[in-house]
Amino acid sequence: MDQSVAVTPPDKAVPTKYGVFSGLWAGRLDGMYDAKLAVQTISSNGKVTVTYAWGTLGDNHPGEAAGVGRIVGTTLKLERLPNGADVSFVMRPDGTLAGTVRLAGQTYTGAFLKQ
């Protein structure tokens, strides 16, 4: 992930249930594909800005994309990324994220840990 990617801590108006998503996360999809998520900003209504970076994933070459999304309940769902991926993350009780990436008819899953 580009070193210029910055995370802005959520302000006091952001509910804690949304604020826990803030930060840098790293994970491995299907145990072999590295990915990172930076939840850069979170608004009080659950809207987020992110940067998502991935390694080789199927036929898709490594890359990085800025995106937006929304937190509803315990799920952060991003709008479709430029490479066509649909990405979502569910906050688990242990503070990790369960990531799901759907791309080109395939579904990849993995755990993401806060960095």
Task: For residue range 89-108, list pLDDT tens digits in order.
Answer: 999 999 999 999 999 899 99
Which pLDDT score, from 0 to 100, does residue 55 have? 86
Q: Residue 106, CB half-sphere, CA atoms under 13 Å: how many?
A: 10
Q: How deeply is 3 buried, as exposed, middle or buried, from its count of CB atoms within 10 A (0-12, 13-18, 19+)?
A: exposed
At residue 18, φ and ψ (nearest 5 deg) are -90, -40
Distance CA 28, CA 14 (A): 29
pTM of this structure: 0.92
Token reading at 72: 């509803």
- CA nearest to 28, candidates 107, 99, 114: 99
Give 16-25 pLDDT, tens digit per residue.
999 999 999 9
Give 28-81 pLDDT, tens digit per residue.
999 888 999 999 999 999 999 999 998 876 676 888 999 999 999 999 999 999
At residue 19, φ and ψ (nearest 5 deg) are -60, -30
Which pLDDT score, from 0 to 100, does residue 109 have? 97
